[in-house]
Amino acid sequence: MRLAERLHGHAGWLAAVALVHPAIVLRRTDRRAAWAVGLSTGLVTTVAIVGASMYAAYRERLRGHIFRASMSTGYLFERKEHLAFAVLAFAWVGALAYVAAGFSSDDERRVLRRLSHRAYVAASAIALVVAALGTAVATFRSF
């Protein structure tokens, strides 16, 4: 579990940084960003799957200890989980809007690309918060 936790944490920071790329590239609605969209969303999804797979062990072995030692740190982790889900949702909204824009008329394409840009801006901002919260909790207690 310790190795998975470390990989999850490091990949989480990479995913947070990777989400900044489509947020920047998609500022212009006519830019192509298929690789940025695909790779960043894929990385975020992979990190989320690893995190979800560790959740049962976290609840069993760490959650109680963290809350007993520091309620505020325990609640930081709980908020991190909720925000991480928001990151995943915003990244997928951005990806789906980007793909849908490719099949749309010019007017719809602009709206969908703008939606994609805004979704990636939100995802990247929240992901940086999630990574910071995860690091704070991991330095407090880990597997």
pLDDT digits (tens, 9 = 90+) for 95-137: 999 999 999 999 999 999 999 999 999 999 999 999 999 999 8
pLDDT digits (tens, 9 = 90+) for 52-62: 999 888 888 88
- In angstroms, the CA 21 to CA 43 distance is 13
pTM value is 0.90
Strand stretches in 3-77, DSSP E: none
Q: Name the token pair of 14.
A: 């990479």
- Residue at 23: amino acid letter: A
pLDDT digits (tens, 9 = 90+) for 39-51: 999 999 999 999 9
The secondary structure of residue 60, as a DSSP letter, is I
